[in-house]
A and B are shown apart, each in its own frame.
Chain A
Amino acid sequence: MLAKREFTVANTYHYNWSSPMRWIISHLLQYRFLFLGFALLCIVNNIFAASTSLFIGRAFDAVLQKNTALQQLGMITLAMLIVITMQGCCDLGARLTAEMLSKRFARDAREELYTNLLGKSQTFHNRQRVGDIMARASNDMTQLSDMMSPGIDTIMDSFSSLFMSVLFIGLLNPQLLLVPILYVIVFLVALRFYARQLGPVAVNLREEFGQTNAVLTESVNGIEVVKATAQEPQEIHKFVTRASRYRDFYVQNGKIHGRYLPTLLLGIALALAFLHGLYLYSHHEISLGMLVTFMSLMTYLRYVTYMSTWSFSLLRLGVAGAERIISLLKEETELDANMGGHKEEMRGDVVFEHVTFSYGSTPILKDISFHARPGQTIAIVGQTGAGKSTLTKLVNRIYDVDTGRVLIDGVDVRDWDMDALRSQISTIEQDVFLFSRTIAENISYGLGSKADQSAIEVAARDAQADEFIQSFPQGYETEIGERGVTLSGGQRQRLAIARALLTDPRILVLDDSTSAIDSATEDEIQKAIHRILEGRTTLLITPRISQIRWADSILVLRKGELIDQGSHEELLARCETYRRIFSHYDAALPASVGGVEHD
């Protein structure tokens, strides 16, 4: 189990992550009675199946001895009919329960992974490739489902068939056991050898599949650049290189399949068994009917021999998939939900005390200290990569500080309950991410399903988004994204503002990057931003220098260091870097601006 996580679901079943096998078993144990039922049905099914061979032998003996043969033959056939009917029922029951186990396993494992991914920190998600996670969540999950049914299903069925056949041969005449027992031993050894050979190749095959997926996802997501630069051949080359490696493993996999020794061993065993049976028959140890039963029981071994290649490779692939899923599950996350931590209504007092933060081994922020009083707007300026965004992410604990403290209302953010903390801090990100659902659902995202329509519309109006939303035929019910409309950057941002307004946070982090929106939209966004800043402590990163100018305090960052802070006038007077921003803009202002009157 992970020590820390940002999200948990109540009453979850805890699975064992110590090894792939244990994980699989712990999943199956969740449905132990279903599994037990399945196993029982498999065994009973095969008892019935093996006993049909006995009846066939009896029929031979009856016919060849010729006394009351017809009557006996009728009785035997009747008994056989009953047995095969019962066997059919057991067989069907076993297959259906296996199917249930299989699909439940996939469903639960998928849910487990999903919950787990939600619980991971942002740092984790920054590290992972979306394509790679997707390969695990989709293909490896299918492997898991296939591993149970038909994989484990076939293994259970074929091995109980093997066991029952050998048992019935022993009951027939213990001497007949010689060849089958020898065969079973050699078979198991050969099977193990085979599995050992196949294992690493199966793992490589899966991994290469994930890589191919990742490369492909990237090409599709970056298609605009690919097309614009006519680099399709380069992308195709990248993809084909990956896909070719996959092909090589596939061929290797096929070669190992071909070298499957047990089928050869079975052929030899059948010949030897027949020879042995003949020998015993010629010495009158067994009847002809028994020889017939023996040979037909021996042919049952075919099932386990032929199916094991396939069923064990499914098991292998499933375990390999499970391993990859577990390694993803086990990835430690840095933060936890801190349930039962500090929980109070925020006033919005933010203090940074000698905060230092590194991303991996790269130092991002060095010894940052400042104080934002409730309702103040703090603008952060600095060159790209100076650490502005990172600084804001320390407030709602997307990241945790290395040294120093971040205090909200005098309480260290690490002592706040994660829910209380994040629900009272809203962030408007650089890249506004909207979900592929309706506009109303996107705005009410922060409240879940609790928001009512009128509140959504008020928020949208305040965010200057109402007008463009109403211009869509379906209004607030318009779908965004894949199946719906594509929104411009400015529209997306106003939706993000509406989203944040609706949750009414005390602290707002506005990482504003949609600067040069076209003209009319610009004023609307400015209004929207102005509206959302009212009465909230705001950390503002913006390219709009007017907003920087009117901020209560401005932090000037340079390569992770806070080189100055103060009001606009103070900084203009003393900070060279800060002055540069404004001198450039003043110089850029055209002479004709002078002729523009404001009234």
Chain B
Amino acid sequence: MKAIIRATSIAKEYPLGASQNSYVTLRESLSAAVRSPLKRFKANQPAETIMALRDVSFEVSSGEVVGIIGRNGAGKSTLLKVLSRITEPSSGRIELYGRIASLLEVGTGFHPELSGRENIYLNGAILGMTRAEIRQKFEEIIAFSEIEKFIDTPVKRYSSGMYLRLAFAVAAHLDPEILLVDEVLAVGDASFQRKCLDKMEDVTQAGRTVIFVSHNMPAITRICPRTILLEAGTVAFDGSSPEAVRRYLGSGMGTNAFREWKNIDDAPGNEIVRLCSIRVRTEDGQVCESIDIRSPVGLDMEFEVLEAGRVLVPNYYFINQEGVCAFGASEHDPEWRRRPRPTGRYLSTAWIPGNFLSEGTLIVSAAISTMDPVIIHFFERDIVAFQIIDSLDGNSARGDYAGPMPGIVRPMLTWTSQFTPSNSSPKLGGSTI
């Protein structure tokens, strides 16, 4: 099949710290020039840079639907930005054999003061539709968004749900040959997400070429036959989606249950706190990927506080294979509750009781936050994973039933039973025989 995207060894280099302090003032430039006047004449000055992408090559055939996964900072967003021409690659070449539209966010360019109708035109034009195209699809867009009544109301009076529906409705009616989609599905309520996913599937069935970046592993395996796994800016795997997801969850230390950052500067976090390691373990301290449903599961989070004086709350989110968040949990050790932490290394352990979770894989995301004011120091998705195994010997909540059991939790309930025998005149029968 004919290639519609051909990317040849693309690389993207950012000056280090470009994300913070991104702009300079004239004074800084001048003082830098005064301090080292010869700097600009020195050839090949080893400037501090970070390679967000290096030697990334791939081809996408017309009509293919390709997923892109990877950890935070692996280069997914950079790749999308390069493909959609928002930023230039530092080297390499990309050939596009079709009209491209990127959907890096829903509602780009929406103006709160304008009405829904006006925003449809504005947003459509920004996403690359012509006026005639928008006019032609206008009724369809309004119908899809389900906000006919409010179409002439300024969008600043919309609820966040209405706003999202309208924004997605415009995006869903884009008609390019290549569509780049970034995690737009991560927003909105469950029913809206389902609607978006359905629309995505429609789009893929229409023979459109789609590149889909997501953290939602079930969505990736459902929509994309092929997935590219990015690791530290390079293509670590390019092939079938289930295999890519397996490798993604398994990347790190060979086990899904343990991850560690040896160099604190690369670790998730900021100047206040950095993550050192996360491990899933059993009660006797063994790192373990598969845990019996009846045993408690321990999650160790090791972190280093670099700047004293803040209340820090480690927390976890547990997501199952279907992408459903089973629950979230914050540390509530009374010793550190509402108490600023001195610098040093901490080990915080959460215990999930035995006989609580249902069997299956759980993917853990970890974060450390401050509540007042809310600061998220880091939020690492899909950091470790483990499996709960329900042995079939009858001692768990499933009893002797061996079939598939639905549900996110499988607690051992306290069952009591009362017995009343039939024919409640017992003495009589006994005596007659």
**Do the two chains bind?**
no
- The interface of chain B, by Cβ under 8 A from chain A, is none
